[in-house]
Structure 1
Amino acid sequence: MPESWVNSGVDLHLELAGTGPRRAALRQALREAIQDGRLGAGTRLPPYRSLAADLGLARNTVAEAYSELAAEGWLIARQGSGTRVAERPAPGKRVRVPKKAPAASGAPTHNLLQGRPDISSFPRNAWAASTRRALTAAPNEAFGPGDPQGRIELRTALADYLARVRGVRTSPENIVICAGFSDAIRLLFGGGVIRGKLAVEAYGLGFHRALLAGADVHTVPLGLDEHGSRTEELDGLRGVGAALLTPAHQFPIGGPLAPARRIAAVDWARARGRVVVEDDYDGEFRYDREPIGAVQALDPDHVLYVGSASKSVSTALRLGWMVLPERLVDSVLSVKGERERWTSVVDQLTFADLITSGAYDRHIRRMRQRYRDRRNRLVDALAAQAPHIDVTGIAAGLHAVLRLPPGTETSTVKAATWLGLALDGLAGYRHPGAATAPWDGLVVGYAAPPDHAYAAALDTLCQILPHPP
């Protein structure tokens, strides 16, 4: 007789805690059953229909929970053999990499690099549903040559969403769709829309600095302290045509730009006929403070707002947006050319539906809680195993900065590499023209590792941290 859940000799007891979404509760219950050893490696789980009937859930709810746990590495689904528990370390044992043995060549064992969202949490079902609705509703002309400004459906959805969530003041006519922040840099500076030197923060992505250097843009670093970039220094700079800032959550050190410095940046742009480019790279993910609105709302004529779906949904989408002062729209479109080259019309229509249907808000709320839990586990691990290490920049975003004793950053990064732990030292983000770093540090991304490997990643992180003096 074919094996069935009834006669397979396996029984399963799950308690779905809380009053929230049943799928999330089922995922958590299965994770806990695997973690405490009740579901050992290789155990075959019941079919969707059987478990759904036992728990009083919809079959799709169970199927989606299985699929998400498989994507995270907890389960393995194979045609003809059902869904089984994946191999993993024995319960109760902590994974430790030998302290004197180098990690194997190739990919690192643990990835704590910043800027990487949880790829296993891509909203597959919501995206598929939005794609179906968007394709059904799209007019025939949508499938012709792409409008370089972007689909009106998406620009309209973004104008409403950004006003509601980030306080941005705009209309669909002032929004231009692009392929992410890097594409925005190419269009604005490589295309000559903004000319002159560019004031930047003392710390930022070297990749962005390389793009600007490739466009022959000379960057001038602003000072940085606990209140953010010293925008009062803008008045003393000559030949600067714009300032590029991350005011909601300074990258990578963290912390919002102080109100007085926001005003100073806007006053400078207004008085000199310049612009502030606002990079709102992770504005949706805030945890321990009230939302901080966009600087753009202070003066839409002199602040250019840039956002993307890279952190909130996936870097694979290559989908971003520029909210421009009206006088710059035609100049940007002239640089883009007659057709959209990079951003898929289908992705634009789908993302527009994701926003207007409310699915994007639900996804953001779910990910905000997930990343907050990840952040809390990092903080708790440091408190327990390395209480002498200060952690900063944790009120928002997908990464934290760990302050190290002076002179220990280079050796700590080398130790991380030796143990197969991928992360960055703070010095790599410093502008070459900025003052010497005030302190050593590590930039630790906590969003990307799969759940089953996160504890081991944190354990390895705590191993490589310097001991107290």
Structure 2
Amino acid sequence: MGTIWPELESATGPKYRVLADAIRQAAGGGELGEGTRLPPVRELAFQLGVTPGTVARAYTVLTDEGVLTAGVGRGTFVAPRARRVEVSAAAPAEDVWSQSDTPPDVYAVSLFSPRIPDVGQVGAIRAALAQVGATDPMRLLNYPTRDSYRAVREAVVGWLSDVPLGPVDQEDIVLTNGGQNGICVALQAILRGPSPTILVEDLSYAGFRRAAELLRADVVGVAMDAQGVIPEALEEAARRTGAQVFCTTPEVQNPTAAFCPLERRQALAAVAEKYDLQIIEDDCYRIGNSKAPSYRALAPERGWHVSTLSKTLTPALRVGYALAPRDRAVDLRRAAEYGYFGISEPLAEVTRILLSDPKTRDLCARARVRIGEYVRLAVNALGRFDLSWDPEVPFLWLRLPPGWRAAGFCRAAEAAGVQIRSADEFALRTGRAPHAVRIAVNCQVSPASFENAMLRLRALLDNPPEQISV
């Protein structure tokens, strides 16, 4: 087999294509017979002096063509001739795009953060901006007042009408510059003393920790299981640290995509009541209907709620909202007014127009369907691995098979043109992260490009750098 490998250092054009051509020709000419096992990705990469991503791309291209076949834990093999399709060397299958696509580099797909498809909201936002541009000039010249935002707050109340939040009126709504700003404002309203402590899920949204650092607060992780934070672990941490706040993502746990059911929420709320913990619920990643009551409804005296339009409509507007318990609403408003006076009034008015339009819910529903289609593409490619997913969650959580470590897999994936997040990014500095990665859904590349990225990840998963006995 050693004689078929090309000299890649002097090759012209992309190295993965040169390698793919060499394997294709060897398989077609009989030098590589049907069923021949090819070297693992890293072994061949070392032999040829190229990155593992180069070999993974070549294997993926040939797997798509049917020249090769791959099996979990078995490796990559030359496929029977009956499975192969003819592909022009001048126009490889992965380079064929429909005229409606506006593709970036097919091999540079960012799956760091979810990207929403345009299902009509861009046109709606442009129309709303034009409408705001024609408004009373004084609204574009003067500082806004709290009364200026009343209509926007009322629109938000209407938007939240199907979310189980307990009693809500427009006075409860504090407009924020996105969800992260909402978390910061809520923490500013809650934290007291020279060295406060907040509790977070062992694997959690990094924004909790960053907000705590800004406020010079300590952060302590709390052990989780498949349903979220373990009540006994929360009680032990609250008793030991004297924490003031518990930050959590019960509807869509970021990064594991887990859901915290009602019975678990009730148990956690009971612990919070026992130790006088305030609860900040980050609801930013929920794009479908709520599956259980929020903490603001379950624990009205201590439940805070933060969400945003970023995952359902667009992150470009940077508009979010926060709600406090009824008897803490003044504290939340004061923190916002002292911190930034209020969000931009023109953007607030754009938000009012969008949220007041019944068609906006239809746009969000269409985006949700499209996200689900991409999720299914990922599951079709990666479903045989240890994968957590939901069609209404814009990311997937992949626990890596033996032989892969999270950091090494992310590096190999990036070399293959796919950017994903390691579990380490969601763990505390003093915590331990599992060998897992978060794969965000990017609906701004074509389905073919997204699926190709999933197949490249699968090729890496099928060819770990080492096998570890368990």
TM-score by length of 1: 0.69
Query: Secondary structure of the residue that 1:465 maps to in structure 2?
Result: helix
Tell me, in whole angstroms, the C-alpha distance in 2 between the residues paired with 1:274 and 1:201.
15
2:27 aligned partner:
none
The match for 2:445 is 450
Inter-partner Cα distance in structure 2 for 1:148 and 1:114: 37
* Equivalent in the alignment of 2:143: 145
Tell me which moved more, 347-356 or 163-172: 163-172
Q: Could you tell me how far apart the structure 1 residues matched to 2:419 and 2:437 are?
A: 11
| Among candidates 390, 394, 418, match of residue 390 of structure 2 | 394
- Equivalent residue of 1:317, what SS? coil
SS at match of 1:315: coil
C-alpha distance in 1, partners of 2:344/2:429? 37
2:111 alignment counterpart:
113
Aligned residues: 362
Per-residue deviation, 1:344? 1.8
Deviation, structure 1 residue 186: 2.7
**Aligned pair in 2 of structure 1 residues 90, 304: CA closer, same or farther (>3 Å)?**
farther
2:435 aligned with 1:440: yes
**1:60 matched residue in structure 2:** none
Residues 110, 292 of structure 1: alpha-carbon distance in 2 compared, 3 angstrom cutoff: farther
Change (3 A) 1:263 1:232: farther
Verify the 8 A CA contact 2:246 2:280 in the aligned structure 1: yes
- Report the equivalent of 1:54: none
Residue 407 of structure 1 and its aligned partner are, at CA, apart by 4.9
CA drift of 1:140 comes to 5.5
Aligned twin of 1:102: none
Structure 1 partner of 2:425: 428
Q: Report Cα offsets for 1:354-405 as digits up to 9, x if no partner.
A: 122212211110101000000011111224xxx3x12113253210011212
Shift of 1:215: 1.6
**8 A Cα contact 1:249 1:396, kept in partner:** no
Higher mean displacement: 448-457 or 417-426: 448-457
1:416 to 2:419 alignment: no
1:366 aligns with 2:366: yes
Question: Which position in structure 2 is the counterpart of 1:350?
Answer: 350
Q: In structure 2, list runs of 5 or more residues that go unmatched.
A: 1-88, 97-104
- TM-fit CA distance, 1:338: 5.9
Q: 1:133 Cα shift?
A: 5.2
Which stretch of the first structure deviates more once superposed, 442-451 or 130-139?
Answer: 130-139
| 1:111-260 alignment, distance < 5 Å | 111-118=109-116, 120-121=118-119, 123-132=121-130, 144-147=142-145, 151-189=149-187, 191=188, 193-195=190-192, 196-236=196-236, 237=238, 238-260=241-263
Cα deviation code 1:59-87 (max 9, x no counterpart) = xxxxxxxxxxxxxxxxxxxxxxxxxxxxx
- Cα deviation code 1:106-147 (max 9, x no counterpart): x99433424332264561222233445566687956863123
Matched, 1:299 2:294: no
For 1:339 and 1:122, the matched residues in 2 are separated by 34
CA distance in 2, matches of 1:392, 1:150: 44
- Percent identical pairs in the alignment equals 19
For residues 257 and 138 of structure 1, the distance between their equivalents in structure 2, rounded to whole angstroms, comes to 47
Alpha carbons of structure 1 residues 264 and 306: separation in structure 2 relative to 1, 3 Å: same
Mapped contact 1:282–1:397 kept (Cα < 8 A) = yes
Separation of aligned partners in 2, 1:138 and 1:235: 54
RMSD of equivalent CA atoms: 3.1
- Alpha-carbon displacement from aligned partner over 1:264-283 (angstroms, at most 9, x marks no partner): 22223334443110000122
Deviations 1:279-333 (A, max 9, x none): 00122246xxx83443322233210000011111222211110011233232233
Mark the structure with the bigger radius of gyration: 2
Aligned ranges 1:258-407 → 2 under 5 Å: 258-285=261-288, 291-337=291-337, 340=340, 343-383=343-383, 387=384, 389-407=385-403
* Paired amino acid for 2:438: V
Query: 2:82 matched to which residue of 1?
Result: none
SS at match of 1:453: helix
Say whether the 8 Å CA contact 1:169–1:296 is kept in structure 2: no
Q: CA deviation at 1:207?
A: 4.3
Report the equivalent of 1:10: none
Q: Distance between the aligned counterparts of 1:431 and 1:212, measured in 2? A: 12
Residue 157 (structure 1) shift: 1.4
Give the SS at the match of 2:397: strand
